[in-house]
Structure 1
Amino acid sequence: MWILGKKILSTLINDGRGRGFYYMFIMNASHAIGILRACLNKLLYYRNIKSSIFSLQTNSRIDVFSKHARIYIGKFVFIRKNASIRVDHYGELFIAEKVFINDHCNINCVYKITIGKNTKIAPNVSINDHDHNFRENSGEHLVKGEIIIGENVWVGSNVVILRDTVIGDNAVIAAGSVVKGNVPANTIFLNKREKSYIQYA
């Protein structure tokens, strides 16, 4: 216990020297509030959320709309501001340890989404494991499919990840991409962009 305390104190002092002690205090106060907000959400959905220590920053929220829905969050997951995580029906969301989810991200799960450890998700990313079933007038209004995001994946800003997608370990998803299908491990995925100009006058 003494060794751990000494290590934490040393880290804080070094961080304070680098950032400035005022800014180091503000940052760590923000982290502490995020952890308290995460604990509050865990209490609110105590039957649905299984987790270790994680942080849920200002205006981010977790919504669970079914007694069957399950969320598993590993240790040291960090969810920044204005993120929305919604799990409904029989949805299962697995977020492994040390995953970072940036500002304004949306995760909508009604079936199954897995995010591997050490994965980093940039701002404004949307992850949806379902589509609206607009082709049929059957009772099932959603078309569902699994999403698996591997370990140590980097997902760039404004990416949309659709159902039936598997992203391999160490992959990089370029900003602005729309992803559906298989992305092999250790590759960079990008949608080809071509400029076109149409004369209108």
Structure 2
Amino acid sequence: MGKVELIRKLDIFMFIKYNFMLKNVIRDPGCYLITYRGAKIDLSDKAKIILHANYHCCSSKFLHSKAEAYLQLLDGGILEVNGPVAQNYGSHVEVNYNAKISIGKAVIKPNAVIVSNQEIEIGNDVLISRYVIIYDSDFHKIKGPNGELKVHSKKTIIGNHVWIGIKSSVLKGAIVGDGAVVAVGSTVTGKVKAGMTAMGYPARSFSTVEWED
């Protein structure tokens, strides 16, 4: 994309605000929160975005499209960007109170949803397909053995060089190993072995992935 075309697609005022006016957006030199038209960002003044690479919000849409992308961080929330990220139009990334998302080089396709209530870790070279859901919590209170009501959350980990297929879900406590593929429409609640394809509900590893060099 040329500089002129990029500028036409940006929300310039939002770009200036989030990169030069807010102390809780912490950037390495040359790293930016790139806000395209339609980017909707709700950043608490008690939350942090830490940029070690560029984060593109509401990317890959047509020039005159009115599609939006949503990025929300509540009090105490942290988004740490360790590689270039493209959050496409129609997607949602939410960091709840005192939660964290760390993400490396990744593409978040349209209508994907990532919500952290505790911690989600996403590695490098990760493709998150359309309509994927990634959660680390049940997000509602469940009665425990002693009758207490509690929200159950557990860290969710997605490794490097992972492809998560369309309409798949990666839920609380799941671990997806390096080089794995989650097949279309699958639900991951446990561990997907490195270099394996997982399928089903709940997803089970069943075949080796042969990636091209």
**TM > 0.5:** yes
Higher mean C-alpha deviation, range 28-37 or range 128-137 = 28-37
Whether 1:174 and 2:183 are equivalent positions in the alignment is yes
Cα distance in 2 for partners of 1:158, 1:48 equals 29
Equivalence for 2:197? 188
Equivalence for 1:138? 148
**1:80 to 1:162, Cα distance in 2 relative to 1, 3 A:** same
- Listed one character per residue, the Cα deviations across residues 66-107 of structure 1 (whole Å, up to 9, x for unaligned) are 1x21110123211101111111122110011x2111001111
**1:175 to 1:86, Cα distance in 2 relative to 1, 3 A:** same
Cα distance in 2 for partners of 1:138, 1:39 equals 47
Identity %, equivalent residues: 22
SS in 1 for 2:93: strand
Equivalence for 1:121? 128
Unaligned regions of 5+ residues in structure 1, if any? 1-23, 194-201
Whether 1:90 and 2:91 are equivalent positions in the alignment is no
State the shift of 1:192 in Å.
6.6
Instruction: Identify which of 78, 84, 93 aligns with 1:76.
Output: 84
Higher strand proportion: 2
- Report how many aligned residue pairs link the two structures: 167
Equivalence for 2:32? none
State the shift of 1:138 in Å.
2.9
SS in 1 for 2:167: coil
**1:192 to 1:160, Cα distance in 2 relative to 1, 3 A:** closer
**1:28 to 1:151, Cα distance in 2 relative to 1, 3 A:** farther
State the shift of 1:30 in Å.
7.9
- Listed one character per residue, the Cα deviations across residues 126-156 of structure 1 (whole Å, up to 9, x for unaligned) are 111001233345353x101010000000000
- 5 Å-filtered alignment, 1:1-201, equals 28-29=5-6, 33=10, 46=25, 47-51=47-51, 52-57=53-58, 58-66=67-75, 68-96=76-104, 98-131=105-138, 132-136=140-144, 138=148, 140=150, 142-191=151-200
| Contact 1:31–1:55 (Cα < 8 Å) also in 2 | no
Unaligned regions of 5+ residues in structure 2, if any? 26-46, 59-66, 203-213
**1:173 to 1:164, Cα distance in 2 relative to 1, 3 A:** same
**TM-score, with normalisation over the residues of structure 2?**
0.69
Tell me which amino acid in the other structure corresponds to 1:89: Y
Larger Rg: 1
Cα distance in 1 for partners of 2:8, 2:179 equals 27
Higher mean C-alpha deviation, range 34-43 or range 151-160 = 34-43
SS in 2 for 1:163: coil
**1:39 to 1:129, Cα distance in 2 relative to 1, 3 A:** farther
State the shift of 1:171 in Å.
0.2
| Contact 1:54–1:74 (Cα < 8 Å) also in 2 | no
Aligned residues: CA RMSD: 2.9
